[in-house]
Structure 1
C-alpha cells in the first residue's frame, strides 16, 4: 500500500481522488493548499503527490518546484490535476518542474486510475485479483452526451459508486471551474520566440475579445500601451535568455477599445527540465486587475481630499486659538490643542488665556456641541464675545449669563456650548470660577510625601444656549503657591473603549505622575506649565491616540510671585 498526498482546494476533488486511491488499495493524505502540503511532505514523506495548480497561497506549480529543490523530496513522482489548462498550456509548466503526468478535470475514473498506476508503478499499484483498468469492478465509459457513467460492479460489491455520483462530480467540477475562471479573470500565454507566435488561453481570449488564441507578437504589441511595450519586451527577453522569472504590469486594449490593467508573469522552461532538442519557450499568467487598481486610485484620491479638508479646517481652528499665552509674574500658563488623528469629523473645542485689567488673567476652556463645520465656525465669535465681556465685567457668573443670552438671542437652533471660565489674581492667589455644563476642572495643591492633593470643582450650571433664564453658580478659592489648575475638554478623558468615569479617575494620577517626573527631571528650574500640560496629556493617553479632540489649559501658581 502506497501513501499519496492529494493537494486541492476543492474538497470534492479530494474526495474523488481519495475514493479511487482506496479502490486501488492505497492510502490518501490530504491538503487544501501548497503550504500545508509542503509541511505534511516534510513530516511524513509520501510515495507520490497529486496536486491542483491554481490554489490559494502556494500554488501547485511552486509546490512542485519546492519539492524538487529539496533533497528529501526531489525524487517524489508528481502529477498535476487541472481544469484551467489545456494540453499545450500545461506541457511547458509540467516540464519546467519535472512533472510527467497530468490529470485533466473532470476526468474519467479509469483514466485517473491509469495515471495513478503510472505514477506509482503498475505492478505495485494494482492489488492482486484486479486489472489495471475497471473491468470486472468499476468500468467508466462515456455516454452519448459525454457524461461519465459507471458500470460492471463486482459481484457482491455494494453499489457505492453509482453512475449518478460520477455525473454529479463531473457537473460540479465544471460549474466550479467555470465560476473560478470567471471571477479570477486570468489566463495563460505561451510565446515561441523563434516564430513570434503567442498562444493565449480561452480566458485571455475572452478578456481581450480576440477571435483566436493564436496571435503574432506584432498584433498584440499594437494593443499594449506605448509606455508599457518596452518593459513587457524587456522582461520577456530577459526571462528567455536567463530563465529567471519576472513579472510586470501593463495596460492592454481589447477589441472593443476598453483598456485593461494586467499583471503579467513571465517564466521560461528550465534547461534541465526540457529535452535537448526542444528550444526554450517563454510562458506565463496574466490577470486582469483593472477593477482593483481603479478602487485603489479612488481610495487614494478620497484620502487625499479628506486630508486636505482636514488640514484646512484644522488650520482655521488653530488660528482661532491664541498664538501665544501671556507672560505674567506669579503664574505659569500652558495649553495644548490636539486633534484626533483618525476622525472624519471636526472638533470645536478651545482654550484661551488673556491678561485683563489689574493684572488679572482670564482663563477659559470650552466646546461647541457637534463635530461639523457650523460648530467650528461658531467657535470664533463665541470666544470673541467672551473676551469682550471679560474686559467689561470680569465676574465669571455674569460672564456666563451674558454669553447665554447672546446664544439664545442669536437663534442658533439646537447649538449649545459648554465652558469653564476662571478669573485668577496672581498677587493674591484668588481664583473665581463658573462652569456651564463642562467637565469639572481640578485644582491640585502641593502635598508632602503622599503627593499633591486634588479637589474637583463640581459646582456647575446648565450648558449655554439651552435655557433663557439659566442661573450659574460661582466658586471662589485661594490657590497656594505651587497649586495647579487643570481645565480640559472631554476628549482628554473620554474613551470609546471604556466607561468615562473610569477614564476621568486617571486624570489625578496622571497629574501627580507628571508633577513628580517634572520635579525629578528639572529640580532647580522654575515651574513650566507648558511642559506640565504636555506630560499630563502623555500620561492620560498612555501612548494611545485620542478618540476626540483635546484641549487642556494649565495654570500653575508659582512660588513668591516668580
Structure 2
C-alpha cells in the first residue's frame, strides 16, 4: 500500500497501543449511553415531528460512534504484535453493536493505482464494497467511473484529475451501483498522490468508505428537522390568526364600560392567557347595552385551542349579541346557542357560558347558565355564589331547555363573572371559588371595578395556568366611599 512519501507530508507515526485501547473503551461506553437514550425514546408517536427528529439524531450519533469504534479496532489490529490484556479487561472491538468485523470489512477498503507500471492493488474490503468477486480483479482508474451513477461520474473524474495533475488530495463522495445486485451505495473517498524521490506522481492511493447508512440517517435528521420547523411555523401562524380573530371579536375596553349613560354599571374585564402564552382558547367576555335600556353581561368558553376554537367562539358570541339585541331572554338564548353549537361547529366541541340581563330600573338580574361557574355576588364585605338554575354544557345534547334565575341587586353590590382556568388545572372549582370569595374585604374597599380586577390579577396573575381565562366585574351604581 502507500509509500511513506506523500504529497507535502511525512509518514504518520503509529499511536501507542494503550491510547487506542483507552479510546476504544471510552467510545464503547459512550455508544452504550447513546443507545440507551435511543431505546428510551417513545415509539408510538410516529406523527410527532419532534420525536422523529430526536430519534433520527440518536440514530446518527450511534452510526458515527459505530464507525469510530470500528476504525479504532482496525487501527489496533494494525499495530505491532504485543501481549493483549485479558478479554475481561478490554473486550474486543466487535463488542460494538452493529459494527463487528464482518460489517467493518464491507464498509472500509483501500486501493493503490501505480501510474508507472499500471498495477492496481485493491484490499478485500473494497471488493465487498463494490460487489465484485476477488477473481474478477480490481478496476483501473479508467474503468472505475463505469461503476458510478451517470450523474456522479464527473465528480470522480474531477477529483482524480486534480490529484494526478495538481497534486491535490482527494476528499469527496459519489454513488455507485454495486455489481450483481445493483444496489446504490454512497462512498466517501479520501486519497493522495504518492511522489517518487524526484517529486513526480508515481501512484495514487485511496481509502473508500461505504457511508450509505450514515447519509440515510443524516438525511432523516434533516427531513425531520425541516418537518419540525414547518410544524412550528404552522403553529406560530395559526396562533397569530387565532390571536387576531380573538382581538377582533372581544371588546377592547379594560376599564370604563362602553355603556353610554346613567352610570348603572361600572364595568371592567380582563383576559388572562395561559402560562406558556402559546394556547389561545375560545374563552370570551362581553357587555353591551340592549335596545330596551337593559344591559347584557356574559362570559363563556369552548373546549380546544387555536383557530378552530376562536372561530367557533366568534360565531357563538356574534349569535349571542344578535339574539340579545332582538330581545331573546337568557334561558331561551342558551337553548339557541346549544342548538347552534351542535349543528354548525365544523369540529365537535363543548362549551360553557353564563348570560345575564340587568334592568337598571328595577335592579333585577335575570340569568341562565350552561355548565358554567355561577356568578359571585359581593355585598357588605362578604361574597357568595348565586344559586344556579339548571343548564347543561353547550353542545352536549340537543333540544335541552335552560332555566332562568332572578336576583335583585342593591346599590354598591359587585357581580363577578369568570371562566374556568383561573387556577392551576389541579385546583378544583371549589378552591378557585374560595380564593375569589376571600377577596371580599378588599373588594369592599376598592373604588372601582377596574381596581377589583387588579386585585383578581394580583391573586391569580402569577398562577401557572394551563389554559386561558376571563374575568368580568360589574359594580352596581356608585361605589361606596372609604
TM-score (norm 2): 0.54
Paired residues of 1:533 and 1:554 also in contact (CA < 8 A): yes
Distance of aligned partners of 1:390 and 1:171 in 2 relative to their CA distance in 1, 3 Å threshold:
closer
2:48 maps to what in 1? none
If asked which structure has higher relative contact order (CA below 8 Å, sep 6+), I would say 2
User: Displacement of 1:532 after TM fit?
Assistant: 4.7
Query: Residue 266 of structure 2 is aligned with which of 331, 335, 341?
Result: 331
Distance of aligned partners of 1:514 and 1:320 in 2 relative to their CA distance in 1, 3 Å threshold:
farther
Distance of aligned partners of 1:538 and 1:170 in 2 relative to their CA distance in 1, 3 Å threshold:
same
Give me the whole-angstrom Cα distance separating, in 2, the residues matched to 1:410 and 1:513. 39
Asked whether 1:527 is paired with 2:440, we answer: no
User: Displacement of 1:455 after TM fit?
Assistant: 1.0
Query: Residue 219 of structure 2 is aligned with which of 290, 310, 314?
Result: 290
Distance of aligned partners of 1:32 and 1:489 in 2 relative to their CA distance in 1, 3 Å threshold:
same
Q: Deviations over 1:441-479 (max 9, x none)?
A: 2233463xxxxx321223132135636362413131425
Asked whether 1:114 is paired with 2:83, we answer: yes
Asked whether 1:254 is paired with 2:183, we answer: no
1:553 maps to what in 2? 472
1:362 maps to what in 2? 296
Q: How does 1:33-112 map to 2 (within 5 A)?
A: 83-85=70-72, 90=75, 102=76
Query: Residue 474 of structure 1 is aligned with which of 367, 382, 405?
Result: 405
- Any idea what SS the aligned residue of 2:471 has? strand
Asked whether 1:313 is paired with 2:313, we answer: no
- Any idea what SS the aligned residue of 1:547 has? coil
Distance of aligned partners of 1:260 and 1:225 in 2 relative to their CA distance in 1, 3 Å threshold:
farther
Give me the whole-angstrom Cα distance separating, in 1, the residues matched to 2:30 and 2:350. 60
Give me the whole-angstrom Cα distance separating, in 2, the residues matched to 1:470 and 1:536. 33
Give me the whole-angstrom Cα distance separating, in 2, the residues matched to 1:225 and 1:339. 58
Paired residues of 1:348 and 1:376 also in contact (CA < 8 A): yes
User: Displacement of 1:327 after TM fit?
Assistant: 4.8
Query: Residue 233 of structure 2 is aligned with which of 281, 292, 304?
Result: 304
Q: Deviations over 1:493-539 (max 9, x none)?
A: 461xx2534652464278569869xx8xxx9xx5352x654663563
Stretches of 4+ aligned residues off by more than 6 angstroms:
179-182, 185-189, 211-215, 222-226, 258-262
2:459 maps to what in 1? 539
Distance of aligned partners of 1:393 and 1:479 in 2 relative to their CA distance in 1, 3 Å threshold:
same
Give me the whole-angstrom Cα distance separating, in 2, the residues matched to 1:399 and 1:559. 26
User: Displacement of 1:349 after TM fit?
Assistant: 2.6
Paired residues of 1:442 and 1:485 also in contact (CA < 8 A): yes
Give me the whole-angstrom Cα distance separating, in 2, the residues matched to 1:503 and 1:298. 42
Give me the whole-angstrom Cα distance separating, in 1, the residues matched to 2:99 and 2:71. 7
Give me the whole-angstrom Cα distance separating, in 2, the residues matched to 1:484 and 1:260. 77
Asked whether 1:386 is paired with 2:320, we answer: yes
Q: Deviations over 1:79-101 (max 9, x none)?
A: xx9642477xx5xxxxxxxxxxx
User: Displacement of 1:308 after TM fit?
Assistant: 1.4
Paired residues of 2:291 and 2:325 also in contact (CA < 8 A): yes
1:177 maps to what in 2? 99
User: Displacement of 1:549 after TM fit?
Assistant: 3.3
- Any idea what SS the aligned residue of 2:71 has? coil
How many residue pairs match? The answer is 379
Asked whether 1:500 is paired with 2:419, we answer: no
Paired residues of 1:362 and 1:422 also in contact (CA < 8 A): yes
Unpaired segments of 5 or more residues in structure 2? 1-17, 34-60, 111-122, 131-136, 146-150, 159-168, 178-182, 191-206
Give me the whole-angstrom Cα distance separating, in 1, the residues matched to 2:418 and 2:139. 71
User: Displacement of 1:305 after TM fit?
Assistant: 1.7
Asked whether 1:347 is paired with 2:267, we answer: no
Give me the whole-angstrom Cα distance separating, in 2, the residues matched to 1:480 and 1:323. 27
- Any idea what SS the aligned residue of 2:421 has? helix
User: Displacement of 1:348 after TM fit?
Assistant: 2.7
Query: Residue 371 of structure 2 is aligned with which of 420, 437, 449?
Result: 437
Give me the whole-angstrom Cα distance separating, in 1, the residues matched to 2:432 and 2:240. 29
User: Displacement of 1:259 after TM fit?
Assistant: 12
Distance of aligned partners of 1:555 and 1:386 in 2 relative to their CA distance in 1, 3 Å threshold:
same
Distance of aligned partners of 1:342 and 1:557 in 2 relative to their CA distance in 1, 3 Å threshold:
same
Paired residues of 1:336 and 1:533 also in contact (CA < 8 A): no
User: Displacement of 1:114 after TM fit?
Assistant: 2.4
Q: Deviations over 1:195-235 (max 9, x none)?
A: xxxxx9x79x969xxx99999xxx9xx97999xx9xxxxxx
Distance of aligned partners of 1:186 and 1:357 in 2 relative to their CA distance in 1, 3 Å threshold:
farther
User: Displacement of 1:365 after TM fit?
Assistant: 0.8
Give me the whole-angstrom Cα distance separating, in 2, the residues matched to 1:541 and 1:251. 59
1:76 maps to what in 2? none
Q: Deviations over 1:323-382 (max 9, x none)?
A: 4451553513223163675778x7333211112246543110123455586664443343
Unpaired segments of 5 or more residues in structure 1? 15-30, 37-54, 60-80, 91-101, 117-137, 139-160, 190-199, 230-239, 241-249, 267-282, 448-452
User: Displacement of 1:115 after TM fit?
Assistant: 5.9
Give me the whole-angstrom Cα distance separating, in 2, the residues matched to 1:253 and 1:534. 67
Paired residues of 1:84 and 1:177 also in contact (CA < 8 A): no
Give me the whole-angstrom Cα distance separating, in 2, the residues matched to 1:354 and 1:327. 7
1:486 maps to what in 2? 416
User: Displacement of 1:310 after TM fit?
Assistant: 3.0
